[in-house]
A and B are shown apart, each in its own frame.
Chain A
Amino acid sequence: EVQLVESGGGLVQPGGSLRLSCAASGFIFSNYNMNWVRQAPGKGLEWVSYISTRSSTIYYVDSVKGRFTISRDNAKNSLFLQLNSLTDEDTAVYYCARDAEWQEGDYHYYGMDVWGQGTTVTVSS
């Protein structure tokens, strides 16, 4: 079964740090680009960060640049997100999601086809 399982969330004080993990199974992890997406309580989805298969390409949403760091360990089938200098605006459920690409002729299509169940980060004093 293809599966992503996040862990590492918890309660942290403003200015604190957390490291989120995402364990992949049921597919060849090293073949897939990966993402982190978050959802604040009662709000919509926000894409946070992306990492390519060999970590050569990394992107962040502007609101987390300089504070969050995405990484991966293909040997351990794991994705990570280091969260530093946390504020209450970072309170959210954090999902890892697999990048999917389809090709039909000359057309390439994209989406996030596998999601974990999420891990909750609460920033509060």
Chain B
Amino acid sequence: EILLTQSPGTLSLSPGEGATLSCRASQIFSSTYLAWYQQKPGQAPRLLIYGASNRATDIPDRFSGSGSGTDFTLTISRLEPEDFAVYYCQRYGSSPPWTFGQGTKVEIK
């Protein structure tokens, strides 16, 4: 089973600042299987990024993803008030189980 470790656990930032979220895997896998999700309190997750770097439908271009091998990054260039949420990475589409990272909370400083 490939485990995903996200860091930091919590990121305290102000609107307008940039955010860099990390997702590290316990084994190498293809970046085509790496997705990022955003979840706000009381809401279902929303797909942000698939294939490590492709924005999903209607996702603003301030969100970008990168990485390969075991190290993946989600970058939010300028935080808007609606971006404060929990973000999860997931390996999905190759052999199961399809694990999620434990999440990074982006909170208002």
Contacts and interface: CB of A to CB of B under 8 A. Distances in A.
Interface of A: 37, 44-47, 50, 59, 61-62, 95, 97, 100-102, 107-113, 115-118
A112 B46 CA distance: 8
A112 B47 contact: yes
A50 B90 CA distance: 15
29 contacts: A44-B100, A44-B102, A45-B88, A45-B90, A45-B100, A47-B90, A47-B97, A47-B100, A61-B96, A95-B44, A97-B45, A102-B50, A102-B54, A108-B32, A108-B93, A109-B50, A110-B50, A110-B92, A110-B93, A111-B35, A111-B49, A111-B56, A111-B92, A112-B37, A112-B47, A113-B50, A113-B57, A115-B45, A115-B46
Given A44-B103, A45-B88, A101-B93, A113 B47 contact: yes
Contacts of B32: 107-110
Given A46-B100, A112-B35, 17 more contacts: A44-B88, A44-B103, A45-B88, A47-B92, A47-B96, A47-B99, A50-B98, A62-B97, A97-B45, A102-B50, A108-B32, A110-B93, A111-B56, A112-B45, A113-B47, A113-B57, A117-B44
Contacts, number: 79
Interface string B24-44: 000000001101010100011
Interface string B78-100: 00000000001010110011111
